[in-house]
């Protein structure tokens, strides 16, 4: 009886070893690599309407003129810990007129800097832009007459908007 | 003494035969070829637009071979992240039956690969050239630019 018990024990151990040696499961692997590129896309809906400086009250400069018919859209993704901003500049100044602009920034798409004067060097209009996409952000232009100059017509200036790294 | 030896040998032989032919366990192996690399955001979306939510691999980005002496097997899938983003979800589906002496079923709809084994498909005997397609969901501009990597584990087991 003792002999049989010992034999069964040995047999059990060996059976276990045999079971372990014969694979009942196996694993293979594959790798998935997804790269998210940085994205920096900015667009405007078009040119604003013509700002016509009209008549003035005697003794005063002509009234300011505004246009809010254009919009801006942007899509931005940046590395963690960094942000972007939208700057604006004008190719050259109007004679006797300062041009201002405001760009809205709704719903986590950055912080509007409010109305800023457009000058020939870059000025911040929206800051703190992280990973977001937005469209239909209103651009409001305001022409402010600073001095009386000889009348002129159809003087176009190029305003450049740039989505760039926040410093 | 001789009698004891004879009993031992007999028991071992019976045990071995029982184990190897009685259906307790079988030699089974799996191999997978291929990997999936994808760049999101190139080309970029139009200004104001988000990235497409979903990205799919080709239908045969991974090919699996299963060798099973006999018997039924089941295959599970899981994903271990090296670097991943919580918004992203990886899905797998089987797009071909492959070929071989056995049969195969299940897995033809996407299932998510998570960090635990999930049943994928099953079959019996040998099947080779089983094509697998991968899908990534949760893609959005909210996912910071970076490279995200995970290893997908395909585990085949006797059933």
Question: Which of A 61-90 lie inside 8 A of B, CB atoms?
Answer: 73-80
Strands B62-68 and B111-113: unpaired
**Interface residue B19 vs chain A (CB under 8 A):** yes
> What angle do helix axes B2-21 and A2-21 make, rounded to 10 degrees?
30
pTM of the model: 0.82
The three-state secondary structure class of B11 is helix
- State the nearest Cα–Cα gap between A78 and chain B, in angstroms: 6
CA distance B82 to B155: 19
Can you read off the two tokens belonging to residue B90?
């990886």
B81-136 confidence digits (pLDDT tens):
999 999 999 999 999 999 999 899 999 999 999 999 999 999 999 999 999 999 99
Cross-chain residue pair A131–B142, CB shorter than 8 Å: yes
What DSSP element (H or E) covers A164?
strand A159-165
Q: How confident is the model at residue A153 (pLDDT cuts 50, 70, 90)?
A: confident
**Interface residue A7 vs chain B (CB under 8 A):** yes
A106-132 confidence digits (pLDDT tens):
988 999 999 999 999 999 999 999 999
CA distances from A107 to A8, A38, A110, A133, B142 (A): 75, 21, 8, 10, 13
Cross-chain residue pair B144–A79, CB shorter than 8 Å: yes
Quote ipTM for the complex: 0.85
Q: Tokens 């022409």 map to which residue?
A: A143
Strands B36-40 and A111-112: unpaired
A33-56 confidence digits (pLDDT tens):
999 999 999 999 999 999 998 888
Cross-chain residue pair B40–A30, CB shorter than 8 Å: no
Contacts of B71 (CB under 8 A, 6+ apart): B23, B26, B124, B125, B158, B159
Question: Which of B 121-150 lie inside 8 A of A, CB atoms?
Answer: 134, 136, 141-150
| Residue in A5, A15, A17, A28 to test binding to B, most B beta-carbons within 10 Å | A28
Q: With 0-12 CB in 10 A as exposed, 13-18 as middle and 19+ as buried, what is B66?
A: buried
CA distance A134 to A104: 10
Q: Among A89-93, A127-131, A150-154, B32-36, where is mean pLDDT lowest?
A: A150-154
A53-88 confidence digits (pLDDT tens):
888 888 889 999 999 999 999 999 998 889 999 999
């Amino acid at each position: 009886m003792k002999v049989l018990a010992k034999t069964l024990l040995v047999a059990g151990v060996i059976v276990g070893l045999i079971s372990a040696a014969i694979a009942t499961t196996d694993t293979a692997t594959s790798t998935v690599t997804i790269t998210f590129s940085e994205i920096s896309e900015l667009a405007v809906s078009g040119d604003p309407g013509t700002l016509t400086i009209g008549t003035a009250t005697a003794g005063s400069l002509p009234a300011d003129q505004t246009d809010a018919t254009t919009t801006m859209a942007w899509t931005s993704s940046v590395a963690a810990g960094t942000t972007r901003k939208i700057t604006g500049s004008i190719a050259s100044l109007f004679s006797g007129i300062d041009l201002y602009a405001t760009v809205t920034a709704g719903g986590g798409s950055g912080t509007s800097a409010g109305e800023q004067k457009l000058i020939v060097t870059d000025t911040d209009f929206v800051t703190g832009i992280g990973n977001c996409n937005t469209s239909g952000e209103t651009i409001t232009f305001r022409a402010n007459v600073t001095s009386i100059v000889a009348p002129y017509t159809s003087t176009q200036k190029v305003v450049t908007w740039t989505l760039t790294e926040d410093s | 003494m001789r009698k004891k030896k004879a009993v031992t040998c007999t028991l071992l032989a019976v045990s071995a035969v029982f184990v190897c032919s009685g259906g307790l366990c079988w030699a089974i192996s799996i191999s997978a070829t291929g990997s999936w690399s994808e760049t999101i955001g190139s080309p970029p979306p139009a200004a104001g637009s988000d990235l497409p939510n979903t990205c799919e691999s080709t239908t045969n980005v991974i090919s699996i071979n299963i060798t099973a002496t006999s018997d039924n097997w089941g295959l599970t899938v899981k994903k271990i992240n090296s670097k991943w983003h919580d918004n992203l979800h990886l899905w797998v589906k089987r797009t071909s039956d492959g070929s071989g002496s056995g049969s195969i079923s299940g897995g033809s709809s996407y299932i998510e690969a998570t960090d635990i084994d999930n049943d994928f498909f099953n079959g019996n005997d040998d099947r080779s050239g089983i094509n697998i397609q991968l899908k990534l969901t949760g893609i959005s501009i909210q996912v910071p630019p970076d490279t995200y990597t995970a290893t997908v584990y395909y585990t085949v087991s006797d059933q």
